[in-house]
Chain A
Amino acid sequence: MRRFSWFNATSLTFGFVFLYLPMLLLVIYSFNSSKLVTVWAGFSTKWYGELLQNEAFLDAAWVTLRVAVISSTIATVLGTMAAYVLVRSGRFLGRTLFSGMIYAPLVMPDVITGLSLLLLFIGIGLDRGVLTIVLAHTTFAMCYVSVVVSSRLVSFDKSLEEAALDLGCTPMQSFRLVTLPIIAPAVISGWLLAFTLSLDDLVIASFTAGPSSTTLPIKIFSAVRLGVSPEINALSTIMIGIVTIGVISASLITKRSMVRQQLEEQEAIRT
Chain B
Amino acid sequence: MTQTVFAPWEDPGEKPLIQFKNVTKRFGSFTAIDNLTQDIYEREFFALLGPSGCGKTTMMRMLAGFEEVTEGQILLAGQDMARVPPNERAVNMMFQSYALFPHLSVWENIAFGLKRKKMPKSELDARVDEMLRLTRLERFARRKPHQISGGQRQRVALARSLARAPKLLLLDEPLGALDKKLRQDTQFELMDIQEKTGTTFVIVTHDQEESMTVASRVAVMDEGQIIQVATPDKIYEEPASLYVADFIGDVNIIEGIATKSGEDGYKINWSEGKEPFQAKTPRTLSEGQKAYIAIRPEKIAVSQDKPDSALNSIKGKIVDIAYLGNMSTYHVEIPGGLTIKAQTANTRRLSRRSFTWEDEVWLSWTLTAGSVLER
A: residues with CB less than 8 A from B are: 157, 159-160, 162-171, 173, 177-178, 181-182, 261, 263-265, 267-271
Contacts and interface: CB of A to CB of B under 8 A. Distances in A.
B338 to A, nearest CB: 41
A164 B146 CA distance: 18
A170 B102 contact: no
A157 B116 contact: no
Contacts of B96: 270
A103 B112 CA distance: 37
A159 B145 CA distance: 15
Nearest to A271: B150
A244 B45 CA distance: 61
Interface of B: 64-66, 85-87, 91-93, 95-103, 112-113, 116-117, 144-146, 150, 153-154, 160-161, 164, 177
A271 B149 CA distance: 11
A168 B87 contact: yes
B146 A267 contact: yes
Contacts of A173: 116
Given A163-B100, A165-B87, A268-B101, 10 more contacts: A162-B95, A164-B101, A165-B66, A165-B86, A166-B86, A166-B161, A167-B113, A167-B160, A168-B117, A267-B146
20 contacts: A157-B97, A157-B99, A159-B95, A160-B99, A160-B102, A162-B86, A162-B95, A163-B99, A163-B160, A165-B85, A166-B93, A169-B87, A264-B102, A268-B145, A269-B98, A269-B99, A269-B100, A270-B150, A270-B153, A271-B150
Nearest to B95: A159
Contacts, number: 91
Overall SS of chain A's interface: helix
A162 B66 contact: yes
Given A159-B97, A173-B116, A270-B97, A265 B102 contact: yes
Contacts of A263: 146
A269 B157 CA distance: 10
A157 B98 CA distance: 11
Contacts of B154: 270
Contact of A159 (B85, B99, B103): B99
B95 A167 contact: no
A166 B64 contact: yes
A182 B103 contact: yes
A264 B86 contact: no
A169 B89 CA distance: 11
A167 B102 contact: no
The 4 A-B residue pairs with the shortest CB-CB distance in the complex, in nearest-first order: A167-B113, A168-B116, A268-B145, A267-B146
Contact of B164 (A167, A178, A261): A167
Contacts of A271: 150
Contact of A166 (B92, B101, B150, B153): B92
A164 B150 contact: no
A153 to B, nearest CB: 15
A168 B87 CA distance: 4
A269 B87 contact: no
A163 B91 CA distance: 11
A182 B91 CA distance: 25
B102 A182 contact: yes
Residue of B66, B99, B161 with most chain A CB atoms under a 10 A cut-off: B99
Contacts of B98: 268-270
A167 B99 contact: no
Contacts of A165: 65-66, 85-87
A248 to B, nearest CB: 24
Nearest to B160: A167
A268 B87 contact: no
A147 to B, nearest CB: 23
Contacts of B85: 165
Contacts of B160: 163, 167
A169 B100 CA distance: 15
Contacts of A163: 93, 95, 99-101, 160
Contacts of A177: 112
Contacts of B87: 165-171
A168 B65 CA distance: 12
A90 to B, nearest CB: 12
A184 to B, nearest CB: 9
A267 to B, nearest CB: 4
Residue of B101, B145, B153 with most chain A CB atoms under a 10 A cut-off: B101
A173 B113 CA distance: 12
A251 B161 CA distance: 38
A164 B153 contact: no
B95 A268 contact: no
A34 to B, nearest CB: 55
B116 A267 contact: no
Contacts of B153: 268, 270
Contacts of B66: 162, 165-166
Contacts of A164: 101, 112
A15 to B, nearest CB: 39
A167 B85 CA distance: 12
Nearest to A165: B86
Residue of A159, A177, A270 with most chain B CB atoms under a 10 A cut-off: A270
